[in-house]
Amino acid sequence: MTSTADIIADFDLLDDWEDRYRYLIELGRKLEPLPEEARTEENKVRGCASQVWVETRVDHSGAQPVLSFRGDSDAHIVRGLVCLVLSIYSNRPADEIAHTEAMDVFQQLGLTAHLTPQRSNGVRSMVERIKNDARQSLQDA
């Protein structure tokens, strides 16, 4: 998976928003497809106009749970947004996830000003779902 730092650096190289959208689509193409058995109602993210699934895996072997995520969408740009969100949160300790604001990265990239309200709401729903999973894993630990 592409790191958040690499995505930010690549975005900085692109001046035109058409190029940035193409880059998001390309990120989505690099996202490993979610297996059909993971496309469940439980993994479906509510509040997204497109279909979005996020599968959460929790590793309890360390001092604190570490969460990893896989995701997918039926829309090209949204797949890129899923990839960006997963790069921010995946393979991180639950407490760090609960206190990390993905919208700060979206703001830094200028995405908050260029996403439709519907897509912004979908991103917020995805982030809230991930943070809820992190909080739940802390309670279960």
Q: Which of 109, 99, 110, 78 is nearest to 4 (CA)?
A: 109
* DSSP-assigned states of every residue in 32-87: PPPPGGG--TTTBPTT-SS-EEEEEEEE-SSSS-EEEEEEEESSHHHHHHHHHHHH
Per-residue pLDDT in tens (0 to 9) along the chain, 141 residues: 789 999 999 999 998 999 999 999 999 999 998 999 999 999 999 988 899 999 999 999 988 999 999 999 999 999 999 999 999 999 999 999 999 999 999 999 999 899 988 999 999 999 999 999 999 999 987
Q: Is 48 a catalytic residue?
A: yes
* Residue 141: predicted pLDDT: 74
We find that the CATH architecture of domain 4-140 is Alpha-Beta Complex (3.90)
* Residue 66: predicted pLDDT: 97
Sheet with 92-93, strands from edge to edge, namely 52-59, 66-73, 92-93
Q: What is the largest CA-CA distance in the chain?
A: 46
* Residue 68: predicted pLDDT: 97
Give pLDDT tens digits for 34-51.
Answer: 999 999 999 999 988 899
* Residue 48: predicted pLDDT: 81
Choice among 31, 48, 82, 84 that is catalytic? 48
Instruction: Domain ranges for the chain, please list them.
Output: 4-140
Q: Which residues neighbour 128 within 8 Å (Cβ) at sequence distance 6 or greater?
A: none
* Residue 2: predicted pLDDT: 86
